[in-house]
Amino acid sequence: MLRSRLVTAAVALTAAAATLVVPQAAQADAAGKGGDYVPFTSSKIVLDSRTGVGAPAGVRGAGSITTFQALGVNGIPASGVSGLVVRVAVFSPTAESYLKVYPNGTTRPAPATLNFPAGQSLSNFAFVKPGANGKLDVFNSAGSTHVYVEVQGYFSTAPTGTTGGLVPVTQVRAVDTTRGTGTTKTKIDPKSTRTVSLTAGGVPADAVAVQAHVTVPATTAAGYLSTTPFGNATGTALVNYGKDMDTSSGGVLQLGTNGQVTLTNGGTAAIDVVIDTMAYFTRTPNAGAGFRPAVSRLFGQSIPAGATVDVVVGGTNGMPTKGVAAAALSFEASGTAHATLNAYPAGTTRPGVALTQHPPNGHQRSSAVIRPGVDGKISVYNSSTSATLVYVDLEGWFADPLPVLPVAQNTPISVVQAAPTAGQAAGTVEYAYVDNIGRVVIGHQTQLDNFCCTQFTTISGNEAFTGQPALVARPDGTVQVSAQHADGGDVWTSTTTAPSGSTWTPFTGIGGSPATPPASTRLSSGVTAQFGVDSDGELWTYAQTGAVPFWRNLGGTALTGTPVLTTVRDGVQLFLRTTGGTITTATYRTDGSLSAWTDLGGAGTGAPAVVLYPGYRQRVFARAADGTIATKLQDTSGTFPQAWEQLGTFTSPGNPVAMLDPVSGLTIVLARATDGIIHKAVETGQGTGVFKDWTFAQVDQPAPAAATDPTFATINNGNGQTTFFVYRTLNGTPIFAV
């Protein structure tokens, strides 16, 4: 139990180099921090198996992997490249198959880059991250085929000073020779050209390039379509189209004078061309959204005929839920009938712009850039008369400007005890805090009855974080820390490398857009879940489960601060401040649903403290507007009374903490006084709800003054339970009081 005489113990601070890890690069930034698009005036061929460019000549067979250099060749920079815009083509394939293009030295991903039937020479665009050695791999699934890869532009790792990033626009049909949209209502003859403007839908005439979806419908002969910026002497291939089919592909078209391009039909028969614009790359430096590579399968299900499904994009794969200008996506469709897909921001009207043109019983893939809509989702509509199997794959995303958060000063320490593993009577105790310069500092305690030997180590390298981190003990004996990154505010996590271990994995960004640090818990299913409130006052959760974990909007209005979590019978109880100063509560149930919110009233500031009693009744403590501490307790029916009870006249500049002493059964409340001395209020008897006057929590005075609010904890040392609290002093030293 927490004894009347408390012992204060200082802690040994170390900088054990063996436990230092280097986090991944920050993602939540904009084009002013890199990701600008730089086009080439002519294609840079990096692989052509017909002529032996990039690799020995010869067809590529089933299951083959061809490795080739993509950086530092043919005028492509050897460094400073975060992503490549490539056109991938096949020639004379002997079987229906697909290609995957991916960074050399990495695991082959699930998403394909190009799908193609036997006998048809086709192409598609893709956004690809080069390998650490500047190389790419291309995998052919079935049959044999010639493979061709050319680079048409790249994204920079740092601002170029000459171009900018991406700006999404409303999807619009800029050119349609079948209807006379943006040009004459006539086909483009073989070996003939057509100059068109691509400034429809808000694309400025001085844009560097547009990202578009290109369709060559109802062809009678195979061929290719190329594009040249108007006023330039050279251009690049845009799409290889097949015979007797509707061919579609994504594409990045470099613009010339007045936003115009010249299209050239390189085939032997006249063709129609349809171009739908979706975004443009600005010529203005430090403007637009910067490219961030990320590869993942987001969706893979059958969509019924005429049906629409929503696919979560934002809030997955380290992306924020707010701040995603657009996502680079690849769509594959296959079904028993011809069909097209529409894909657009969720919550908006479906545009008359189609993606993919899959034939009956065939597969076709096309790329697009789409801005996520409501809750970070896109809507996908199947226009077919049959159910269609649809894959939606992520190739990268474009980051809007996000704020750099100040590092919060003097934030509390988090505490958790790891689950014991085989041969252990009790697990180690882990501590985490973010210091006043933004470092995540971890404490590792193996001698559970000796706080003096806790070793503290920085695990965040040179990344900056802010606010109190969250700790969760996982069933396998490992511990996870979650912290809010100062660059954009998304959530990053790290985990001990082994049960009860003292080393930690590199930080991984899980995205999200909380306005304040997240709270974490382990659900009854064993799944770790984060909860955070965004700048609109809505609650989000991230359950670390499933093929593609994502942040899910739970709703709520006018919420603020970090949620306080308590495990209850049917889930997790959340307590939050509202912007009006009251405290509100709701239950996140084990099935993932959220109960209605109950406002507990009051007017104050800061986070509440919650004590759970037998019968799952909860007592809440909170700081009132005048700094005093007030409380209220649920009755046996689960209802909170209307009035708050004030605990004396003691005032605090911070948040209270409270716990039910496991031995005495008394409720104890701690709070920091204005002079930094920790005070306590103890219940007069079990369940009385009456508290004694506030007194010093540490009877040996003068105790070191606290710069942070205290944290209460109870741990199992293998022989019993020890209750203590911990805080940091004005010079940042952690202090234990037991």
Which pLDDT value is given to residue 19?
35
* In contact, 467 and 563? CB cutoff 8 Å: no
The pLDDT of residue 6: 44
Tell me if residue 695 falls in helix, strand or coil. strand
* CB-CB neighbours of 96 under 10 Å: 17
**Over 60: is that where the pLDDT of 7 sits?**
no
Mean pLDDT on 207-216: 96
Neighbours of 606 (CB within 10 A): 18
Other CB atoms within 10 Å distance of the CB of residue 158: 11
On the 0-12 / 13-18 / 19+ scale of CB atoms within 10 A, 316 is buried
CA distance 39 to 229: 11
Q: Sorting pLDDT into bands at 50, 70 and 90, what band is 699?
A: confident
DSSP string, 49-109: TTTTBSS-SS-B-TT-EEEEE-SSSTT--SSSEEEEEEEEEEES-SSSEEEEEEETTSPPP
In angstroms, rounded to a whole number, what is the distance separating the alpha carbons of residues 117 and 698? 77
Report percent pLDDT > 70 for the chain: 96
Helix (H, G, I), strand (E, B) or coil at 301: strand
pLDDT in tens, 401-431: 888 899 999 999 999 999 998 888 899 999 9
Run of H or E residues at 493: strand 491-495
**Cα–Cα distance between 485 and 468 in angstroms, integer?**
11
More confident of the two residues 173 and 8: 173
pLDDT recorded at residue 738: 82
CA distance 640 to 544: 32
Alpha carbons within 13 angstroms on the beta-carbon side of residue 112 total 22
Mean pLDDT of the chain: 93
CA 12 to chain centre: 36
Task: Write out 147-210 in H/E/C secondary structure.
Answer: EEEEEEEEEECCCCCCCCCEEEEEEEEEEECCCCECCCCCCECCCCEEEEECCHHHCCCCCCEE
Q: Are 472 and 455 in contact (CB under 8 A)?
A: no
Write the pLDDT tens digit of every residue in 34-75.
999 999 989 999 999 999 999 999 999 999 999 999 999 999
Strand partners, 368: 329
Average pLDDT estimate for 377-397: 96
- Residue limits of CATH 2.60.120 in the chain: 29-164, 166-281, 289-401
Q: For residue 152, which of 311, 281, 32 has the smallest C-alpha distance?
A: 281
10 Å Cβ neighbour count for 234?
Answer: 11
More confident residue, 194 or 422: 194
Q: What is the pLDDT of residues 705-729, one digit of tens each?
A: 999 999 999 999 888 899 999 999 9
pLDDT at 14: 44
Q: Out of 1-5, 127-131, 219-223, 281-285, pick the least confident.
A: 1-5
**Angle (CA) 68 74 75, round 5°:** 130
Confidence of residue 28 (pLDDT cuts 50, 70, 90): very low
602 SS3 class:
coil
pTM of the model: 0.91
Looking at domain 166-281, its CATH architecture is Sandwich (2.60)
| pLDDT tier at 450, thresholds 50, 70, 90 | confident
As a whole number, mean pLDDT of residues 122-149 equals 98
Measured distance CA(314)–CA(297) in Å, rounded: 13
pLDDT the model gives residue 11: 45
The pLDDT-based confidence of 29 (bands split at 50, 70, 90) is low
As a whole number of angstroms, the distance between CA 669 and CA 711 comes to 11
Fold designation for 289-401: Jelly Rolls (2.60.120)
Pick left, alpha or beta for residue 425 (phi over 0 → left; psi -120 to 50 → alpha; otherwise beta).
alpha
Token pair 């979650």: residue: 482
pLDDT at 3: 46
pLDDT, one tens digit per residue, over 233-271 is: 899 999 999 999 999 999 999 999 999 999 999 999 999
- Give yes or no for residue 15 having a pLDDT over 60: no
Beta bridge partners of 297: 393
The torsion angles phi and psi of 558, rounded to 5 degrees, stand at 55, 35
Query: How far is Cα 195 from Cα 203, in angstroms, rounded to an integer?
Result: 17
Give the C-alpha distances (Å, rounded to integers) separating 147 from 97, 358, 392.
12, 21, 24
Residue 506 CA to residue 348 CA, distance in Å, equals 39
Say if strands 135-140 and 65-69 run parallel, antiparallel, or are unpaired. Answer: antiparallel
Report the pLDDT averaged over residues 492-496.
97
Distance CA 303, CA 631 (A): 52
**What is the predicted pLDDT for the residue at 359?**
83
Per-residue pLDDT for 16 more than 90?
no
Beta pairing class for 455-458 and 12-13: parallel
- C-alpha to C-alpha distance for 205 and 49, rounded to whole angstroms: 38
Which backbone phi and psi does 525 adopt, to 5 degrees? -75, -10
Q: Which residues of 524-545 are buried (b: 16+ CB within 10 A; e: fewer)?
A: eeeebbbbbbbeebbbbbbbbe
Question: For residue range 309-348, what is the model confidence (pLDDT) as tens digits?
Answer: 999 999 999 999 998 999 999 999 999 998 899 999 999 9
pLDDT in tens, 607-662: 999 999 999 999 999 999 999 999 999 999 999 999 999 999 999 999 999 999 99
* Band (27; pLDDT cuts 50, 70, 90): very low
Token representation of residue 386: 């049959």
Q: Where does the pLDDT of residue 700 fall: very low under 50, low under 70, confident under 90, or very high at 90 and above?
A: low
Fold of 29-164: Jelly Rolls (2.60.120)
Residues 695 and 650: their CA atoms lie apart, in Å, by 9
The pLDDT, as a whole number, for residue 701 is 62
User: Do the beta carbons of residue 326 and residue 145 sit within 8 Å?
Assistant: no
CA distance 151 to 89: 12
Instruction: Identify the weakest region by mean pLDDT among 10-19, 231-240, 531-540, 667-676.
Output: 10-19
DSSP for 615-638 reads: TTEEEEEEEETTSEEEEEE--TTS
